[in-house]
């Protein structure tokens, strides 16, 4: 420990032990514990106690807990736990009989202080830190703490209850560590007493009729199987799995959500998944027993497992697909194909898919057999297995249930789509349990992935939502009524549709996708959030659109779509909702960036009102929109697309006015976002040698820097320096550049050449800005300036070596100015600088030291333990109302 901190510690301990002294900020004690934990982790806790006896004295007031505030009491319990985590320190505290009196019956436990959840939480966390060695286990066994932890599992405070469960797992893990290493096959009956007790408690809870108790047991087991992968966990699962299986026989299945979590954590455990221990049976049974909304997360979890029998994967996939199957059945135009048992069954769906044929469907029973062609939908997706409940029944009881299930399903499938494509999900296994497992190096999505039916389902759902779908059954009619105008489902379906752009399939489906997207983008009923999603999905589909073989950037369908879309865009750019205007502009910027060079697109864009409207939006009342308009105009200009046919006499008139307009925004806009956007556009223009910039780069840079350096927004100033850096790099060459055209001073360049190279920077007042920014009150600006000047110094190093120390009048005045700025004075601009003076000052400045200081930031003072101790001591006793006065 730092000697300065060590000196302050006794005084602080005295403050903490004094119940009359309130403790300052409620974060202070947390930070103090963080500090003690760091010290304990780095060295000996016993030594810490011996060197700072005040800490032991501090722990003693706990013996009179009624005197202490719950916060301090909880702090002391946690501190004791941190210190006693090391066995020698534990023994030391035990000798003083301190631990039993802290954590046993004699302590806060059972007293008035115990009613505060903070104290109960501190007690648990203290024990959790302490339980690191066999002596701690003996202590727990003798103190009766384990029974208290059992009761705390049902605590009224959610966080206490959760921590109690975690502590039980921790204790069980530690108590099993020693015996399990040598004898993984030991039966629980031979396990250490402490472990037996916990397992017995879990068994009892699993047998309980009250759901909360079952939930507690399942949660403890989930935490354990997730974190502990020792061989004994396999023994434990074998021991407990019958009890877990019994839960599935109850109606309804209790604590279904926790049960799913447990089964998945067991399935993910590397110890257990290699030998299924009946797990796959249980998972299959659970899938068929749970309601669709409960089974969905389990199905997703199973499909993301690295190792799993094919048949189980097929069953899981079928569960996930059920709701979409139902949707397609309800709207398909050809229900009741031969071989199906009625309208809206599997074949009606399969007929839409790219792979399956009605014959294949007709010939299939519920279970797949090896060697058969894969189906678009896996078997059993609808009515295929006896276990699977009828999906229509699940979708229809209420609008809320229908919407909830569809959103969940779409989200789950969205997570599967990006996974690598895997082996057939339903090609083997024959449906018999146990089935051979499919070892996979990483989670794979089911194969064949029914891309086309999924796409069809997503489109159908979107149609149901906007009222353009035609229901062909009662279910369809109900769905129409439920989904009409439902924003939640629209959002989920558009997200899913966007993800599906990664696949390939029949062109007519892609055409349908573009058609529905256009409908949404056109419709006056689309809500702003739905429109945003529609724009995103559109962009994804356009980007994934295959390039035509004959060249060009877009295939004809996408081209046509984009042309149809452009007349829609002006309406969105004129929307009364700022977010719609903004989303429209963001979409425009992206499309122009991607396809701005494509003739068809250019032609359509220039023929539309879009460029003109975008220009008008530079004056939008909403600053976010102005910023997006700046970005869009910047992009349009870069692509030569913002020119509205001007008079032949003034071909460049529009271009010029945009630069002026952006400069005007930079100088006058009252909000930061548009000004930042202008700086980004200007930096990009400089990088790309935009025609307006290239015409007189120096003049452009000078004007921009003059405005940016005065800006009140730190990001604008930082971006001003970024632009300055680009200018430097373009003039002097990249740090490691070998560009033959860059004007790089050679290794031993004559002074005149270097001075000449630096002249442009002097003329644009770059150094005035950079040197001043070095002491900017906003750290990122100062850091940026530091980097810029270091770059410059590296470039001019050879020159300054030759020059030796410079001490002209210019240098003196510059150094004086720097000192004033460092002291916080602003003063007048530097005026004209000589390159020689700049180089000399660059050399004399301790830029590395400054960079180091800036990297430390104010955290150096704010987060230091010394500062914490000083603050806590200073605050003691002067507390007033300001403690609670957070705003």
Give the footprint of other proteins on residues 26-45 (CB under 8 A).
Answer: 26-28, 30-31
Stretch 673-712 residues interacting with other proteins (CB under 8 A)? 673, 676, 712
Rounded to an integer, what distance in angstroms lies between the CA atom of residue 254 and that of residue 250?
Answer: 7
Among 1, 18, 25, 87, binds other proteins (CB under 8 A): 25
Interacting span for other proteins (CB under 8 A) from 144-152, 228-236, 696-704, 855-863: 855-863
Q: Which of 653, 866 has the CB closer to other proteins?
A: 866
Per CB under 8 A, the segment of 190-198, 238-246, 668-676, 697-705 that binds other proteins is 668-676
Select the residue interacting with other proteins from 289, 491, 642, 784 (CB under 8 A): 491
Cα–chain center distance at 885: 32
Q: Is 261 in the site for other proteins (CB under 8 A)?
A: yes
Give residues 539-598 in contact with other proteins (rule: CB under 8 A): 579, 582-583
Subset of 65-94 contacting other proteins (CB under 8 A): 70
Judge contact between 382 and 332, C-beta under 8 A.
no
Among residue numbers 767 through 796, which ones bind other proteins (CB under 8 A)?
777-780
CB 293 within 8 A of CB 312: no
Which residues 620-649 are close enough to bind other proteins by CB under 8 A?
624
Taking CB under 8 A as the criterion, the residue among 42, 158, 432, 747 binding other proteins is: 158
Find, among 571, 511, 506, 500, the residue nearest to 540 by Cα: 500
> For other proteins, which is the closer residue by CB, 132 or 294?
294
> Minimal distance in Å, beta carbon 844 to other proteins?
18
Shortest reach from residue 881's CB to other proteins, in Å: 6
* DSSP-assigned letters across all residues of 447-478: ES--HHHHHHHHHHHHHHHHT-----SHHHHH
Residues between 360 and 419 that touch other proteins (CB under 8 A): 399-400, 404, 407-408, 411
Buried/exposed 102-113: b ≥16 CB within 10 Å, e otherwise: bbbebbbbeeeb
Q: How far is the CB of 431 from other proteins (least distance, A)?
A: 29
Cβ count near 847 (within 10 Å): 19
CB of 425 to other proteins, least distance (A): 23
Nearer to other proteins, 748 or 884 (CB): 884
User: Is 497 a residue that touches other proteins (CB under 8 A)?
Assistant: no
DSSP states of 351-397: TTSSS--HHHHHT--SS--TTPPPPSSPTTSSS-SSSSPPHHHHHSS
Q: Could you give the CA distance from residue 366 to residue 493 in angstroms, rounded to a whole number? A: 29
Q: Which two tokens stand for residue 471?
A: 């229901």
Q: Which of 386, 432, 748, 886: binder of other proteins (CB under 8 A)? A: 886
Concatenated DSSP letters of 681-738: HHHHHHHHT-HHHHHTHHHHHHHHHHHHHT-SSHHHHHHHHHHHHHHHHHHH--TT--
d(CA 454, CA 221): 36
Sole window of 238-246, 682-690, 692-700, 868-876 interacting with other proteins (rule: CB under 8 A): 868-876
Number of H helices, E strands in the chain: 47, 4
Rg (CA), the chain: 35
- Report the Cα 792 to chain-centroid distance in Å: 38
Tell me the DSSP string of 252-312: SPTTHHHHHHHHHHHHH-HHHHSS-TTHHHHHHHHHHHS-HHHHHHHHHHHHT-SEEEHHH
Question: CA–CA separation, 311 vs 297, rounded Å?
Answer: 18
The region of 137-145, 444-452, 595-603, 864-872 touching other proteins under the rule CB under 8 A is: 864-872
β-bridge mates for residue 437, sequence order: 309
DSSP H or E segment with residue 679? helix 672-688
Closest CB 780 distance from other proteins, rounded Å: 6
- Residue from 7, 159, 737, 739 touching other proteins (CB under 8 A): that is 159
The stretch near other proteins (CB under 8 A) out of 23-31, 352-360, 560-568, 810-818 is 23-31
What 3-state class would DSSP assign to 551? coil
Q: Rule CB under 8 A: say whether 603 interacts with other proteins.
A: no
With binding defined as CB under 8 A, does residue 856 bind other proteins? yes
175 in contact with other proteins (CB under 8 A): no
Q: Which is nearer to other proteins, 671 or 688 (CB)?
A: 671
C-alpha closest to that of 322 among 372, 393, 424, 258 = 393
Q: Decide whether 184 or 404 has the Cβ nearer to other proteins.
A: 404
Plot region of 804 (φ>0 → left; ψ -120 to 50 → alpha; else → beta): left
Question: For other proteins, which residue of 116, 264, 618, 789 counts as binding (CB under 8 A)?
Answer: 116
User: Is there binding between residue 875 and other proteins (CB under 8 A)?
Assistant: yes
Provide, rounded to whole angstroms, the least separation between the CB of residue 338 and other proteins.
38
Cα 488 to Cα 477: distance, rounded to the nearest angstrom: 19
Contact range with other proteins by CB under 8 A, out of 206-214, 351-359, 803-811, 850-858 = 850-858
Considering the rule CB under 8 A, would residue 664 count as an interface residue with other proteins? no
Integer CA distances (angstroms), 866 to 40, 43, 345, in order: 17, 19, 72
Stretch that binds other proteins, among 11-19, 240-248, 600-608, 863-871 (CB under 8 A): 863-871
**Nearest-approach distance from CB 163 to other proteins, in angstroms:** 11
Q: Is 667 in the site for other proteins (CB under 8 A)?
A: no
Stretch that binds other proteins, among 144-152, 363-371, 505-513, 853-861 (CB under 8 A): 853-861
Candidate residues 133, 227, 488, 602; the one interacting with other proteins per rule CB under 8 A: 488
């Amino acid at each position: 420990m730092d000697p300065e901190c060590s000196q302050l510690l006794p005084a602080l301990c005295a403050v903490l032990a004094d119940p009359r002294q309130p403790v300052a900020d409620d974060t202070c004690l947390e930070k103090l514990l963080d500090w003690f934990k760091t010290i304990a982790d780095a060295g000996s806790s016993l030594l810490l106690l011996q060197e700072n006896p005040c800490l032991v004295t501090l722990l003693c007031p706990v013996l009179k807990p009624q005197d202490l505030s719950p916060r301090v009491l909880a702090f002391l319990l946690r501190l004791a736990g941190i210190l006693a985590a090391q066995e020698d320190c534990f023994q030391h505290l035990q000798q003083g009989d301190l631990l039993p009196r802290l954590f046993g019956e004699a302590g806060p436990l059972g007293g008035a202080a115990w009613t505060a959840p903070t104290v109960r939480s501190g007690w648990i966390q203290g024990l959790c830190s302490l339980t690191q060695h066999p002596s701690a286990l003996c202590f727990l066994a003798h103190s009766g703490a384990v029974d208290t932890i059992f009761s705390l599992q049902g605590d009224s405070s959610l966080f206490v209850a959760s921590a109690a469960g975690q502590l039980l797992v921790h204790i069980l893990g530690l108590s099993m560590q020693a015996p399990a290493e040598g004898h993984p096959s030991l039966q629980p009956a031979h396990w250490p007493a402490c472990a037996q007790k916990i397992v017995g408690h879990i068994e009892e809870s699993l047998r309980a009729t009250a759901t909360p108790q079952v939930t507690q047991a399942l949660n403890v087991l989930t935490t354990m199987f997730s974190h502990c992968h020792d061989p004994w966990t396999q023994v434990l699962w074998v021991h407990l799995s019958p009890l877990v299986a019994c839960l599935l026989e109850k109606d309804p299945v209790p604590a279904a959500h926790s049960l799913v979590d447990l089964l998945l954590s067991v399935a993910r455990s590397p110890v257990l998944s290699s030998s299924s221990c009946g797990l796959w049976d249980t998972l299959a049974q659970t899938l068929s027993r749970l309601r669709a909304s409960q089974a969905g997360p389990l199905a997703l979890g199973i499909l993301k497992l690295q190792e799993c029998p094919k048949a189980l994967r097929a069953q899981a996939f079928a569960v996930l697909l059920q709701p979409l199957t139902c949707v397609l059945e309800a709207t398909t135009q050809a229900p009741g194909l031969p071989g199906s048992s009625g309208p809206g069954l599997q074949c009606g769906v399969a007929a839409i898919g790219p792979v399956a044929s009605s014959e294949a469907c007709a010939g299939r029973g519920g279970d797949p057999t090896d060697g058969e062609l894969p189906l678009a939908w896996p078997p059993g997706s609808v009515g295929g297995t006896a276990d699977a409940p009828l999906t229509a029944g699940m979708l229809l009881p209420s609008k809320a249930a229908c919407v909830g299930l569809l959103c969940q399903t779409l989200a789950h499938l969205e997570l599967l789509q990006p996974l690598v494509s895997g082996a057939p999900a339903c090609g083997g296994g024959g449906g018999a349990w146990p089935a051979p497992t499919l070892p996979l190096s990483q989670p794979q999505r089911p194969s064949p992935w029914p891309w086309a039916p999924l796409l069809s389902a997503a489109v159908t759902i979107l149609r149901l939502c906007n009222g353009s779908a035609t229901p062909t059954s009662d279910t369809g009619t109900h769905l129409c009524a439920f989904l009409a105008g439902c924003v939640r489902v629209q959002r989920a379906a558009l997200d899913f549709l966007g993800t599906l752009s990664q696949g390939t399939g029949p062109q007519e489906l892609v055409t349908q996708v573009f058609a529905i997207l256009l409908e949404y983008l056109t419709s006056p009923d689309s809500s702003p959030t739905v429109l945003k999603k529609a724009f995103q999905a559109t962009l994804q589909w356009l980007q994934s659109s295959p390039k035509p073989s004959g060249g060009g950037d877009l295939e004809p369908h996408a081209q046509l779509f984009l042309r149809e879309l452009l007349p829609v865009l002006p309406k969105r750019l004129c929307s009364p909702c700022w977010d719609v205007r903004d989303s429209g502009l963001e979409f425009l910027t992206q499309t122009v960036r991607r396809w701005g060079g494509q003739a068809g697109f250019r032609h359509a864009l220039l023929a539309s009102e879009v460029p003109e409207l975008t220009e008008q939006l530079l004056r939008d009342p909403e600053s976010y929109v102005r910023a997006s308009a700046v970005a869009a105009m910047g992009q349009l200009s870069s692509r030569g697309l913002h020119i509205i046919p001007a008079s032949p006499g003034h071909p460049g008139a529009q271009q010029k006015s945009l630069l002026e307009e952006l400069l005007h925004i930079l100088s006058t806009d009252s909000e930061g976002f548009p000004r930042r956007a202008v700086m980004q556009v200007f930096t990009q223009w400089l990088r790309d040698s935009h025609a307006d910039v290239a015409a007189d780069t120096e003049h452009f840079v000078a004007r921009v820097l003059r405005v940016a350096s005065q800006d009140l927004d730190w990001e604008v100033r930082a971006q001003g320096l970024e632009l300055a850096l680009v200018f430097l790099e373009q003039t002097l060459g990249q740090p490691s550049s070998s560009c033959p055209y860059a004007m790089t001073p050679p290794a031993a360049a004559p002074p005149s050449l270097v001075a000449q190279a630096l002249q442009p920077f002097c003329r644009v007042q770059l150094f005035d800005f950079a040197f001043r920014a070095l002491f900017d009150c906003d750290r990122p600006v100062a850091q940026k300036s530091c980097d810029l000047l270091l770059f410059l110094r590296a470039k001019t190093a050879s020159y300054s070596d030759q020059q030796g120390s410079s001490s002209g009048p210019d240098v003196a005045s510059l150094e004086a100015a720097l000192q004033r700025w460092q002291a916080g004075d602003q003063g007048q601009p530097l005026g004209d600088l000589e390159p020689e003076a700049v180089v000399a000052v660059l050399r004399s400045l301790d830029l590395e030291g400054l960079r180091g200081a800036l990297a430390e930031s104010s955290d150096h003072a704010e987060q230091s333990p010394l500062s914490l101790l000083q603050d806590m001591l200073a605050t003691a006793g002067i507390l007033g109302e300001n403690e609670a006065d957070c705003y």
